[in-house]
Amino acid sequence: MPVKLNHYYTIIPDKITDYEKFMIKEFIPGINKLGIHAVAGWTILIGAYSEIILETVGNDLELIEKSLQNPKYKDLSIKLFNFIKDYKTKVLVKTGKIDSYSTDIKKDTIKFNQTWNIKNDKKAEYDKFTSEEFYPCLEEMGVHIASEWEVLIGGGPHIICEGRVQNVEDLIDNLQCTVFQAASKTLKQYVTNYESRILSFHIQKVKGYKSASYNLIHV
Protein backbone atom coordinates (compact mmCIF):
# COMPACT_ATOMS: atom_id res chain seq x y z
CA MET A 1 0.00 0.00 0.00
CA PRO A 2 1.46 3.41 -0.93
CA VAL A 3 2.73 5.55 1.93
CA LYS A 4 3.31 9.26 1.46
CA LEU A 5 6.22 11.26 2.79
CA ASN A 6 5.33 14.92 2.33
CA HIS A 7 7.97 17.64 2.71
CA TYR A 8 6.85 21.15 3.72
CA TYR A 9 9.12 24.19 3.46
CA THR A 10 9.69 27.76 2.31
CA ILE A 11 12.38 28.66 -0.21
CA ILE A 12 14.94 31.24 0.96
CA PRO A 13 14.33 34.17 -1.43
CA ASP A 14 17.94 34.75 -2.50
CA LYS A 15 18.52 31.01 -2.97
CA ILE A 16 15.77 30.33 -5.53
CA THR A 17 18.05 29.74 -8.54
CA ASP A 18 20.37 27.40 -6.63
CA TYR A 19 17.37 25.63 -5.11
CA GLU A 20 15.83 24.98 -8.51
CA LYS A 21 19.04 23.49 -9.91
CA PHE A 22 19.56 21.32 -6.84
CA MET A 23 16.01 19.94 -6.81
CA ILE A 24 16.02 18.91 -10.47
CA LYS A 25 19.61 17.69 -10.74
CA GLU A 26 20.27 16.17 -7.30
CA PHE A 27 17.48 15.93 -4.76
CA ILE A 28 14.69 14.39 -6.85
CA PRO A 29 16.95 11.92 -8.74
CA GLY A 30 18.57 11.02 -5.41
CA ILE A 31 15.38 10.24 -3.49
CA ASN A 32 13.92 8.41 -6.49
CA LYS A 33 16.89 6.01 -6.41
CA LEU A 34 16.15 5.34 -2.74
CA GLY A 35 12.57 4.35 -3.55
CA ILE A 36 10.96 7.56 -2.30
CA HIS A 37 9.49 8.63 -5.61
CA ALA A 38 8.75 12.29 -6.24
CA VAL A 39 5.14 12.60 -7.41
CA ALA A 40 4.90 16.40 -7.65
CA GLY A 41 5.71 19.64 -5.92
CA TRP A 42 2.89 22.03 -5.02
CA THR A 43 2.65 25.68 -4.09
CA ILE A 44 -0.18 27.20 -2.08
CA LEU A 45 -2.54 29.36 -4.16
CA ILE A 46 -5.19 29.90 -1.49
CA GLY A 47 -4.86 29.05 2.19
CA ALA A 48 -2.20 29.54 4.83
CA TYR A 49 0.58 26.98 5.21
CA SER A 50 4.11 26.25 4.02
CA GLU A 51 5.00 27.79 0.68
CA ILE A 52 5.91 24.44 -0.91
CA ILE A 53 4.67 20.86 -0.45
CA LEU A 54 6.83 18.18 -2.08
CA GLU A 55 4.72 15.02 -2.46
CA THR A 56 6.73 11.79 -2.42
CA VAL A 57 5.59 8.19 -2.07
CA GLY A 58 7.03 4.78 -1.22
CA ASN A 59 5.63 1.28 -1.54
CA ASP A 60 5.28 0.77 2.22
CA LEU A 61 6.23 2.19 5.60
CA GLU A 62 9.23 -0.09 6.00
CA LEU A 63 10.77 1.23 2.77
CA ILE A 64 10.19 4.84 3.87
CA GLU A 65 11.85 4.20 7.24
CA LYS A 66 14.81 2.45 5.62
CA SER A 67 15.31 5.24 3.09
CA LEU A 68 15.19 7.96 5.76
CA GLN A 69 18.01 6.21 7.61
CA ASN A 70 20.15 5.91 4.48
CA PRO A 71 23.29 8.11 4.59
CA LYS A 72 22.54 9.25 1.02
CA TYR A 73 19.17 10.64 2.12
CA LYS A 74 20.75 12.42 5.07
CA ASP A 75 23.34 13.97 2.74
CA LEU A 76 20.63 15.19 0.35
CA SER A 77 18.64 16.67 3.25
CA ILE A 78 21.66 18.58 4.58
CA LYS A 79 22.22 20.08 1.13
CA LEU A 80 18.52 20.96 0.80
CA PHE A 81 18.63 22.94 4.05
CA ASN A 82 21.03 25.39 2.36
CA PHE A 83 18.14 26.62 0.21
CA ILE A 84 15.02 26.34 2.39
CA LYS A 85 13.64 27.15 5.85
CA ASP A 86 10.76 26.08 8.10
CA TYR A 87 11.18 22.47 6.98
CA LYS A 88 8.94 19.69 8.31
CA THR A 89 7.62 16.34 7.12
CA LYS A 90 4.53 14.19 7.49
CA VAL A 91 4.09 10.47 6.87
CA LEU A 92 0.60 9.71 5.53
CA VAL A 93 -1.21 6.39 5.23
CA LYS A 94 -4.56 5.68 3.58
CA THR A 95 -7.57 5.41 5.85
CA GLY A 96 -9.06 2.75 3.55
CA LYS A 97 -12.19 4.75 2.86
CA ILE A 98 -11.26 5.75 -0.70
CA ASP A 99 -8.74 3.91 -2.88
CA SER A 100 -8.33 5.80 -6.15
CA TYR A 101 -4.93 7.40 -5.55
CA SER A 102 -2.65 7.54 -8.57
CA THR A 103 0.81 9.04 -8.98
CA ASP A 104 -0.12 9.96 -12.55
CA ILE A 105 -1.44 13.51 -12.32
CA LYS A 106 -2.91 15.30 -15.32
CA LYS A 107 -1.09 18.34 -16.66
CA ASP A 108 -3.60 21.02 -15.63
CA THR A 109 -4.51 19.58 -12.23
CA ILE A 110 -5.22 21.84 -9.26
CA LYS A 111 -5.49 20.32 -5.80
CA PHE A 112 -8.23 21.10 -3.32
CA ASN A 113 -7.04 19.66 -0.01
CA GLN A 114 -9.15 19.69 3.14
CA THR A 115 -7.86 18.72 6.56
CA TRP A 116 -9.50 18.10 9.93
CA ASN A 117 -9.59 16.03 13.10
CA ILE A 118 -12.45 13.62 13.74
CA LYS A 119 -14.35 14.07 16.99
CA ASN A 120 -13.81 10.94 19.07
CA ASP A 121 -17.49 10.48 19.86
CA LYS A 122 -18.61 11.13 16.26
CA LYS A 123 -16.51 8.57 14.35
CA ALA A 124 -19.43 6.39 13.20
CA GLU A 125 -21.52 9.37 12.09
CA TYR A 126 -18.47 10.88 10.37
CA ASP A 127 -17.76 7.68 8.42
CA LYS A 128 -21.35 7.42 7.25
CA PHE A 129 -21.69 11.08 6.29
CA THR A 130 -18.40 11.37 4.40
CA SER A 131 -18.91 8.09 2.51
CA GLU A 132 -22.56 8.60 1.61
CA GLU A 133 -22.89 12.38 1.31
CA PHE A 134 -19.79 14.59 1.59
CA TYR A 135 -17.42 12.83 -0.80
CA PRO A 136 -20.17 12.17 -3.40
CA CYS A 137 -21.00 15.89 -3.17
CA LEU A 138 -17.39 16.78 -3.97
CA GLU A 139 -17.33 14.37 -6.92
CA GLU A 140 -20.49 15.99 -8.32
CA MET A 141 -18.70 19.35 -8.05
CA GLY A 142 -15.87 18.01 -10.21
CA VAL A 143 -13.52 17.38 -7.30
CA HIS A 144 -12.05 13.91 -7.76
CA ILE A 145 -11.19 12.42 -4.37
CA ALA A 146 -7.77 10.81 -4.87
CA SER A 147 -7.69 9.49 -1.30
CA GLU A 148 -8.41 10.16 2.34
CA TRP A 149 -5.13 10.09 4.29
CA GLU A 150 -4.29 9.86 7.97
CA VAL A 151 -1.18 11.56 9.36
CA LEU A 152 0.79 8.71 10.92
CA ILE A 153 3.83 10.83 11.83
CA GLY A 154 3.78 14.63 11.98
CA GLY A 155 1.58 17.48 13.13
CA GLY A 156 -2.17 17.78 12.66
CA PRO A 157 -4.85 18.12 11.57
CA HIS A 158 -4.70 14.36 11.19
CA ILE A 159 -7.07 13.67 8.28
CA ILE A 160 -6.31 14.93 4.77
CA CYS A 161 -8.89 14.72 2.00
CA GLU A 162 -6.90 14.96 -1.25
CA GLY A 163 -9.04 16.34 -4.06
CA ARG A 164 -8.02 17.02 -7.66
CA VAL A 165 -9.74 19.34 -10.13
CA GLN A 166 -9.02 20.53 -13.66
CA ASN A 167 -10.46 24.05 -13.50
CA VAL A 168 -9.77 26.39 -10.59
CA GLU A 169 -12.44 28.90 -11.64
CA ASP A 170 -15.15 26.22 -11.59
CA LEU A 171 -13.85 25.04 -8.22
CA ILE A 172 -14.10 28.49 -6.66
CA ASP A 173 -17.62 28.93 -8.02
CA ASN A 174 -18.66 25.52 -6.66
CA LEU A 175 -17.19 26.24 -3.23
CA GLN A 176 -19.63 29.13 -2.97
CA CYS A 177 -22.70 27.10 -3.91
CA THR A 178 -25.36 26.34 -1.31
CA VAL A 179 -24.95 22.56 -1.69
CA PHE A 180 -21.28 22.60 -0.73
CA GLN A 181 -21.85 25.17 2.02
CA ALA A 182 -24.54 22.95 3.55
CA ALA A 183 -22.35 19.84 3.27
CA SER A 184 -19.41 21.64 4.91
CA LYS A 185 -21.63 22.85 7.73
CA THR A 186 -22.77 19.29 8.43
CA LEU A 187 -19.19 17.97 8.24
CA LYS A 188 -18.15 20.38 10.96
CA GLN A 189 -20.58 18.69 13.34
CA TYR A 190 -18.26 15.67 13.24
CA VAL A 191 -14.81 17.26 12.96
CA THR A 192 -12.63 19.99 14.47
CA ASN A 193 -9.77 22.12 13.15
CA TYR A 194 -11.12 22.21 9.62
CA GLU A 195 -8.82 23.83 7.05
CA SER A 196 -8.73 23.95 3.25
CA ARG A 197 -6.13 24.89 0.63
CA ILE A 198 -5.93 25.20 -3.14
CA LEU A 199 -2.60 24.09 -4.60
CA SER A 200 -0.99 24.43 -8.02
CA PHE A 201 2.05 22.74 -9.54
CA HIS A 202 5.53 23.77 -8.44
CA ILE A 203 7.29 20.66 -9.75
CA GLN A 204 5.61 18.55 -12.42
CA LYS A 205 6.54 15.03 -13.45
CA VAL A 206 6.61 14.52 -17.21
CA LYS A 207 6.54 10.99 -18.57
CA GLY A 208 8.82 10.26 -21.51
CA TYR A 209 9.14 7.25 -23.79
CA LYS A 210 11.62 5.46 -21.54
CA SER A 211 11.81 7.56 -18.39
CA ALA A 212 10.30 10.50 -16.56
CA SER A 213 11.66 14.00 -16.15
CA TYR A 214 10.60 16.92 -13.98
CA ASN A 215 9.69 20.48 -14.89
CA LEU A 216 10.01 23.17 -12.25
CA ILE A 217 7.47 25.98 -12.33
CA HIS A 218 8.83 29.19 -10.82
CA VAL A 219 7.16 30.42 -7.63
Q: Rounded to 5 degrees, what are φ and ψ at 133?
A: -130, -55
> pLDDT by residue (tens digit) across 103-115?
999 989 999 999 9
6-10, 87-91, 99-103, 115-119, range with the lowest pLDDT: 99-103
Q: What is the pLDDT of residue 209?
A: 58
Q: Which residues pair with 216 in a beta bridge?
A: 203
Q: What is the pLDDT of residue 208?
A: 65
The pTM score is 0.92
> pLDDT by residue (tens digit) across 143-183?
999 999 999 999 989 999 999 999 889 999 999 999 999 99
Closest CA to 101 of 59, 64, 63: 59
What domains are defined for the chain?
3-216 (3.30.70.100)
Residue 207 has pLDDT above 90, yes or no: no
Q: What is the pLDDT of residue 98?
A: 85
> pLDDT by residue (tens digit) across 19-55?
999 999 999 999 999 999 999 999 998 887 779 999 9
> pLDDT by residue (tens digit) across 72-100?
999 999 999 999 999 999 999 999 988 78
Burial of residue 105 (number of CB atoms within 10 Å: 0-12, 13-18, 19+): middle
**For residues 43 and 53, what is the distance between their CA atoms, to the nearest angstrom?**
6
The answer to whether the beta carbons of residues 73 and 161 sit under 8 Å apart is: no
Cis peptide before 157 (omega within 30 of 0): yes
| Number of CB atoms found within 10 A of residue 137's CB | 20
